[in-house]
Amino acid sequence: MTTRLTTAQAIIRFLKNQYSERDGKRNRLFEGCLGIFGHGNVAGIGQALEQDPGLPYYLFRNEQALAHTATAFAKMANRLRTLVCTTSIGPGATNMITGAAVATVNRLPVLMLPGDIFARRNVAPVLQQLESGATQDISVNDCFKPVARYWDRIERPEQILTALPAALRVLTSPAETGAVVVSLPQDVQAEAFDYPASFFEERVWNVPRPRCDSQLLEKAAQWIREAKQPLVIAGGGTIYSEGTDALGSFALQSGIPVGETQAGKGSLPFTHPQSVGAVGVTGTPGANILAREADLIIGVGTRYSDFTTASQTAFQNPNVRFININVCEFDAGKQSALPLVGDAQVTLKELASATRGATVSTAYASRIARYREDWEKEVDRLHNLNWGPPVSQGEIIGVVNQVSGPRDVMVCAAGSLPGDLHKMWRTRDPKGYHLEYGFSCMGYEISGGLGIKMAAPDREVYVMVGDGSYLMMAQEIVTSLQEGYKLTIVVLDNHGFSSIGGLTRACGNDGMGTEYRYRKDGKLAGDIIQVDFVANARSLGAEAVRATTREEFRQALVAASKSKTTSVVVIETSYDKRVPGYESWWDVPIAEVSEVESVRAARSRYEEAVKKERLFS
């Protein structure tokens, strides 16, 4: 039995009947379609969505932003649910490439359906087509290939019968997931075919919990029993596997301290006795000292980015060994580790059973408790500096942390905020801390906040964004109002790119190109440009106020939390009063030769620091 549909109609009918299932709990895999229509998709996917409202459509303002929203949605849903993204051809498609990279780098499932040029070619070049003199079998959509985990181009209607199941396999794979791109030539979208009815039946994609090799597990247990100074590094895979309770139990049983990556922050609540907080470049003193001295590192669901390893300077014990628990074989093998390739939750439970009775020494436990106590005092100090105005960034973080509820979600992505948040944010819920730091993409914050709210409408969402990132992509405020998804947006106005400003000075330079100033005498060295962010937010339909002092900010934030619509609170923050780094280093190469003395001095310091980088083989 067959049903005659266009390619686009068949795609939409297929997608609305796909489900994921883990631990017996079934989820609708695709909760909606985000998009912007143009000539490359309006008569195909657009017509199909209008004809079949079973997959709700959400109108966005920017193609990159809609991809960020889908990525944040998938992250909030622990990769068990996601959204579809559709764009027109040409710039509509290429605008989404950055969003595809964000999804893939962060291992988050997003289905992208960009329009493409005519498959039949006879009317080429069409509007927005990039021509090549070397081949006719190429379009701008080929640019997605390096940033997609699966890529395909549909040139005949019947190809979706094999292409879509292949795409769904990748989307629902905990090891291989990321951006999945299925390019749709605009003529093929409208072509009809007699599809088998079975293609549209409900299909459930099981998301497995694979178990690791039993012999390797036994060896890992032996290593843990032998270790004198072990440390767990919890990454995002801990949270995606819903393995936070298993980690907490394992840490309590063994006494092993737990440091967290950006993606893994929230794996333990900050009150857990084994939590030593952030680790790496933006880590706490205790976590970084423990990492430096550890004789065993147990990585759980981490891909060991340079911020986690402090550019491979974090682990200095000459006898350090690594055990990696990861569902992805590629990540499990990093640091030349003993690879426990398996689901984090299941593997942690089995490891706890295999190491029952093994605990750290009393002296080591005392050190952990002391580091925790010292760090909580430091956070209290940073939260209560009474600096300014302009107020310090650390104080702003403290106020948001205090005003927000235990299940509320804070989202951020780029600038100096992520580093300070990683150190100072007191997590209370595994999903309460949402940082896009795999790609650290400016502009993610507001659109990401929208995706979080769509995935968890019962939670309040606090978007923390610097003025630089706000100016790149604030327009999805309109989408939040259109759909009734309330966000509380905190804009930190420090008149420029504070993060890179600090970095350039650390590299011996003077901050060129990092402050918002008028041009004067041929340089960007004039007066500060005063941007009215309150007027801008109001023009987009949001409620907006400006605060000056910490107390004004707290009152404004409380009022915003009670509002039923998207609210923006703007506060000027000190460009110079920064949260320090602790016991760590990041490899940013300094100019080897320079006429500037400060650069030469920075290079000298760099040459000493880089000697600590290690290769684990």
Domain chopping of the chain, boundaries:
2-206, 214-374, 384-572
Contact 192, 11 (CB under 8 A): no
Contact 83, 33 (CB under 8 A): yes
Q: What angle, rounded to 10 degrees, do the helices at 393-403 and 362-383 form?
A: 100
Please report, for residues 68, 95, 260, 326, the alpha-carbon distance to residue 61 in angstroms, rounded to integers and kept in the order given.
12, 11, 35, 37
3-state class (DSSP) for residue 91: helix
- CA nearest neighbour of 265 among 126, 421, 472: 421
DSSP state of 264: T
β pairing state of 18-22 and 203-206: parallel
Residue where the block lists tokens 């010292």: 374
What mean pLDDT do residues 61-85 have? 98
Contact 336, 309 (CB under 8 A): no
Token couple for 33: 């379609």
Token couple for 369: 């408790």
Confidence (pLDDT) at 508: 84
Cβ atoms within 10 A of the Cβ of 163, count? 16
Residue 389: is the preceding peptide bond cis (ω within 30°)? yes
Residue where the block lists tokens 């404004």: 556
Confidence (pLDDT) at 503: 84
Q: Which contiguous run of DSSP H or E holds residue 493?
A: strand 488-493
Token couple for 62: 């920017």
Q: What's the pLDDT tens digit per position in 93-104? A: 999 999 999 999
Cβ atoms within 10 A of the Cβ of 446, count? 29
Contact 488, 460 (CB under 8 A): yes
- CA nearest neighbour of 383 among 362, 369, 368, 403: 403
What mean pLDDT do residues 267-295 have? 98
Cα distance between residue 337 and residue 234, in whole Å: 15
β pairing state of 409-412 and 296-300: unpaired
Residues in the chain: 617
Alpha carbon 186 to its chain centroid, in Å, reads 32
Confidence (pLDDT) at 388: 82
Confidence (pLDDT) at 617: 75
Confidence (pLDDT) at 178: 98
Cα distance between residue 45 and residue 8, in whole Å: 5
Confidence (pLDDT) at 222: 98
- Apex 379 CA angle, 374 and 384, nearest 5: 130
What mean pLDDT do residues 132-139 have? 94
Position 436 confidence tier, pLDDT thresholds 50, 70, 90: very high
Alpha carbon 557 to its chain centroid, in Å, reads 25
β pairing state of 409-412 and 203-206: unpaired
What mean pLDDT do residues 313-331 have? 98
Dihedral sign, Cα of residue 523, residue 528, residue 530, residue 531: positive
Cα distance between residue 205 and residue 182, in whole Å: 19
DSSP state of 591: P
What mean pLDDT do residues 434-447 have? 97
Alpha carbon 501 to its chain centroid, in Å, reads 23
Residue where the block lists tokens 């949001």: 542
The full 3-state SS of 93-111, as one line of letters, equals: HHCCHHHHHHHHHCCCCEE
The answer on pLDDT for 511 being more than 90 is no
Burial class, 451, CB count within 10 angstroms (exposed 0-12 / middle 13-18 / buried 19+): buried
The full 3-state SS of 83-152, as one line of letters, equals: EEEEECCCHHHHCCHHHHHHHHHCCCCEEEEEEECCCCCCCCCCCCCCCCCCCCCCCHHHHHHHHCCEEE
The answer on pLDDT for 385 being more than 90 is yes
What mean pLDDT do residues 70-97 have? 98
How is domain 214-374 classified at the CATH fold level? Rossmann fold (3.40.50)
What mean pLDDT do residues 244-254 have? 98
Please report, for residues 326, 449, 612, the alpha-carbon distance to residue 235 in angstroms, rounded to integers and kept in the order given.
10, 21, 24
Dihedral sign, Cα of residue 183, residue 451, residue 98, residue 529: positive
How is domain 2-206 classified at the CATH fold level? Rossmann fold (3.40.50)
Cα distance between residue 296 and residue 225, in whole Å: 10
First to last CA, the chain: 58
Contact 582, 496 (CB under 8 A): no
Q: What's the pLDDT tens digit per position in 479-501? A: 999 999 999 999 999 988 888 88
- Written as one letter, the residue type at 468 is G
Look over the chain and give the mean of its residue pLDDT values, rounded to a whole number: 96
Cα distance between residue 504 and residue 497, in whole Å: 11
- What percentage of the chain reaches a pLDDT higher than 70? 100
Cα distance between residue 480 and residue 478, in whole Å: 5
Contact 282, 440 (CB under 8 A): no
Alpha carbon 510 to its chain centroid, in Å, reads 31
Q: What's the pLDDT tens digit per position in 193-230? A: 999 999 999 999 999 999 999 999 999 999 999 999 99
- CA nearest neighbour of 185 among 91, 45, 70: 45
Question: How big, in percent rounded to 5, are the helix, strand and coil portions of the chain?
Answer: 40, 20, 40
Cα distance between residue 597 and residue 237, in whole Å: 45
Confidence (pLDDT) at 496: 85
Contact 68, 447 (CB under 8 A): yes
Confidence (pLDDT) at 99: 98
- Domain 384-572: which CATH class? alpha beta
